[in-house]
Amino acid sequence: MDIEKIECIFNPQSVAVIGATDTFGKWGFDLIRAVVKNRGKRKIYPVNIREEEVCGIKSFHRVTDIPETVDFAVIVVPAPHVVSVMRDCAKKGVKAAIVITAGFAEMGEKGKELQKELVSVARDGGIRFIGPNTMGHFSTLSGFDTLTLLPVAFKRGEIGLISQSGNIGGYVLLRGLEEGVGFSKFIGTGNEADLTLEDYLEYLGQDDNTKVIALYIEGLRQGRRFFELAREISKKKPIVALKVGRTSAGMKAAQSHTSALSGADRIYDAMFKQCGVIRVDEVAELYDTAIALLRQPIMKGNRVGILTRGGGFGVLSSDACQARGLDVSTLSPRTIDGLNAILPPYWSHGNPVDTVAATGCTYEALRLMLDDENIDAIYYVAVIDKDPRLNIGRLIDIAPSKREQAERLVAEYNSRELESVDMMLSHMGEYQKPIVFCSSRPGRKPWDSELYHRFRDDGVMIYSAPEDGAKVLARLAEYGRYLRSCG
């Protein structure tokens, strides 16, 4: 792999944006602004055949007119001009590029020919490039960003995302943005005419800023290479992949989308298992699983202890866990004794541990379950968001004389909850057992309260459906199992 050139892709010192414009509504309008927004010391050169100035910066008619050296070219001119622009870049000594423009191999025979010509011009000039037909890429570490999704910077983080689709990538990135999840690097691979998903995988595999790799795959171009790379990388950092095309309709759609060869799905399935790639089936699962793999400790077995404050969620969670191959294990007698001492007499006396709406003792119950050697992970289906406003609302009809006391009780309750959240979060590391959280309150983003912020700031998600958390637990168990089988 051309490490130096891939480094340059994520952190170029000087960038030409070819097709940059001040005409609102054109891709080149957003693009120059995306590149400029975190420029730091990076030199930016707009290139536009007609303009003298773009985005308030002196513009050049051709990339060869730029007097300084240019590391990287962002190309967003119409398809018929891309090849000649690439030729100019080669002349200029550009090291690497991204071709945003569409209208290549995804557009039939003529497009395929054009793409071939583009590749040969780039190869002759020693240029490696992303795309064509891509939505962009970024590195949050260097601040270099060709993504025009939003006029804001993405948060720094340790998840590296490689996507063969722009809008799938967009979904994951935007959810991350909303929920405070950061990324190290993102690459929309486009048609992979030159650099392929396998190149990016190899790079992220050795990138110290990336701790988890998330992939959206429609079809691989170098299947064997992927397999061999993933087998090595997955021993060091988890790889989670959403591979589409389980059905023949999906496979056909994928083929026309990025013109990749999508092989037999069953072979993909076997291949992922064999090289330790965690395969998921839904976009939301790709997001959830990547975040959980980043924050949670490695699960040492298959046994889950479920803690709930109500029966229904306990039943649902047990079903969801078992259906995904997890073992809702039997509690040790010591744990039962311990729970008898702190829970009301009518508690469930088994796994799931149902405290039957008893509050104030769930944290203690969790501690006892973490101590149980029959439990490898906890599914905590007991997060209740005691929004202080909600409680104070209940106090409306209370006599003013008693109000102050009631308010104090609510405040005390909330601070106790916050304290127990802090302790629960620190226990994940101490016990080296995953704790997955689910709330019995509906809604995907109950982030307004202080309680939820505590979780979020620590990189821990709260799921709002028992099935979602169970899916994540099953993936954690799968990765743990794979690592154990590697010895």
Partner 1 sequence: MVGSQIFDIVRKQGRTLLTEVEAKDALRDAGISVVDTRLARSRDEAVAISGEIGFPVVLKIASTDITHKSDSGGVKVGLDSVAEVISAYDEIMSAVKQKNPGAKIQGVSVQNMAKQGVEVIVGMSKDPQFGPVLMFGLGGVTVEILKDVAFRLIPLGERDAREMIKEIKGYPLLEGYRGQDPCDIRALERLLLQVSGFIEHNPEVEEIDLNPVFAYSDGAVAVDARVVLGVEAR
Q: Which is nearer to partner 1, 105 or 382 (CB)?
A: 105
Q: Which is nearer to partner 1, 154 or 482 (CB)?
A: 482
Restricted to residues 453-482, the positions that interact with partner 1 (CB under 8 A) are: none
Contact between 286 and 214 (Cβ < 8 Å): yes
Q: Which is nearer to partner 1, 3 or 264 (CB)?
A: 264
- Residue 164 CB, nearest distance to partner 1 (Å)? 15
Q: Which is nearer to partner 1, 14 or 255 (CB)?
A: 255
Restricted to residues 236-275, the positions that interact with partner 1 (CB under 8 A) are: 261, 263-264, 266-267, 269-271, 273-274
Binding segment for partner 1 among 2-10, 13-21, 221-229, 350-358 (CB under 8 A)? 221-229
- Residue 274 CB, nearest distance to partner 1 (Å)? 6
Taking only Cα atoms into account, the Rg of the chain, rounded to an integer number of angstroms, comes to: 26
∠ CA 305-306-312, rounded to 5°:
155
Structure tokens that stand for 25 in this block: 């509504």
Interface with partner 1, residue 170, by CB under 8 A: no
Structure tokens that stand for 49 in this block: 């055949």
- Residue 485 CB, nearest distance to partner 1 (Å)? 5
- Residue 8 CB, nearest distance to partner 1 (Å)? 30
Interface with partner 1, residue 227, by CB under 8 A: yes
Interface with partner 1, residue 223, by CB under 8 A: yes
Strand ranges across the sheet with 96-99 = 43-47, 14-18, 72-75, 96-99, 128-130
CA 466 to chain centre: 21
Interface with partner 1, residue 55, by CB under 8 A: no
Cα–Cα distances in angstroms (integers) from residue 55 to residues 47, 52, 151, 306, in the given order: 11, 10, 14, 56
Backbone angle region of 37, left / alpha / beta, with phi > 0 → left and psi within -120 to 50 → alpha? alpha
Binding segment for partner 1 among 21-29, 99-107, 223-231, 314-322 (CB under 8 A)? 223-231
C-alpha span between 172 and 170 (Å, rounded): 6
Binding segment for partner 1 among 16-24, 165-173, 222-230, 463-471 (CB under 8 A)? 222-230
- Residue 15 CB, nearest distance to partner 1 (Å)? 35
Q: Which is nearer to partner 1, 276 or 469 (CB)?
A: 276
Restricted to residues 298-357, the positions that interact with partner 1 (CB under 8 A) are: none
Q: Which is nearer to partner 1, 171 or 227 (CB)?
A: 227
Half-sphere exposure at residue 453, Cβ-oriented, CA atoms within 13 angstroms: 4
Closest CA to 226 of 242, 244, 202: 202
DSSP 2-25: -HHHHHHHHS-SEEEEET--S-TT
Contact between 335 and 393 (Cβ < 8 Å): no
User: Which residues form the interface with partner 1 (CB under 8 A)?
Assistant: 220, 223-224, 227, 261, 263-264, 266-267, 269-271, 273-274, 485-486
